[in-house]
Amino acid sequence: MTRFRHLIWMLIATAGLILSTTQSQAQLRSPDVGDQPGLLADDSIELDPEFKKTAVLYRTNEPAGTIIIQTAERHLYLIQGNGRALRYGIGVGRDGFQWQGLVNITQKKEWPDWTPPPEMIQRQPYLPRFMAGGPGNPLGARAMYLGTTVYRIHGTNRPDTIGTAVSSGCFRLVNHDVADLYERVPVGTKVIIRQKPEL
């Protein structure tokens, strides 16, 4: 009887592992929500108050001018010093596309062109290989390029995705917020990406 129960539990565990792996693979193959060329942003969408730009208290040892991205919170903080920061609501990478690290802003572009990376083309073969910057471009009004990665802090033509986890690893802000941030930070700005809040 004990061996029979053990066998049943092993079968259940194996089925769970297969299901989990299948779901993860499906997520990696699923479309990048918000990467929709030609869609014009609906600026009438009202953001949840939690994701509107606001000045907040924020304790950190990082100097003023540093950007801290808290993936789990869906917030980007621009440190102001004296225990304060500007907080912006963001969209982040979906499961399987979240990451953390320390990078610098290496480039800044207004109304950036979009060249989807090969990995994205593989997942979504219907995407254009190149799209000139403009209101219908998924990168939105501004982009700040992160280190030597393929990731950016950028605008979006899908403001309804702010506060969600649906991208391929980039960090999205509504266009008026990304334009505001763009004016406040120079090339070379330190960017800290954290998946979990500091203890």
Q: What integer best gives the mean pLDDT of the chain?
A: 84
Is the pLDDT at 34 greater than 90? The verdict is no
Model-level pTM? 0.81
Q: What is the pLDDT, as a whole number, of residue 13? A: 42
Mean pLDDT of 26-30: 45
When pLDDT is cut at 50, 70 and 90, the band that residue 35 belongs to is low
Q: What is the pLDDT, as a whole number, of residue 120? A: 85
Indicate if 176 belongs to the active site.
no
Burial of 8-40, coded b for 16+ CB within 10 Å and e otherwise, reads: eeeeeeeeeeeeeeeeeeeeeeeebbbbeeeee
Token readout for 22 is: 């299948």
Indicate if 170 belongs to the active site.
yes
| Tens digit of each residue's pLDDT (9 = 90 or more) over 100-142 | 999 999 999 999 999 988 888 888 888 889 999 998 899 999 9
Q: What is the pLDDT, as a whole number, of residue 21? A: 34
Is the pLDDT at 5 greater than 60? The verdict is no
Mean pLDDT of 61-85: 97
Integer-rounded Cα Rg, in Å, for the chain is 19
Q: What is the pLDDT, as a whole number, of residue 196? A: 78
Block residue for tokens 């990731």: 151
pLDDT-above-70 percentage for the chain: 79
Is the pLDDT at 33 greater than 70? The verdict is no
Whole-number Cα distances in Å, 126 to 25, 121, 122: 20, 7, 9
Domains delineated in the chain: 45-194 (2.40.440.10)
Which among 6, 75, 154, 176 is annotated as catalytic?
154
CA atoms of 183 and 146, how far apart (whole Å): 16
Token readout for 110 is: 């207004």
Between these two residues, 25 and 122, which has the higher pLDDT value? 122
Q: What is the pLDDT, as a whole number, of residue 192? A: 98
CA atoms of 164 and 139, how far apart (whole Å): 16
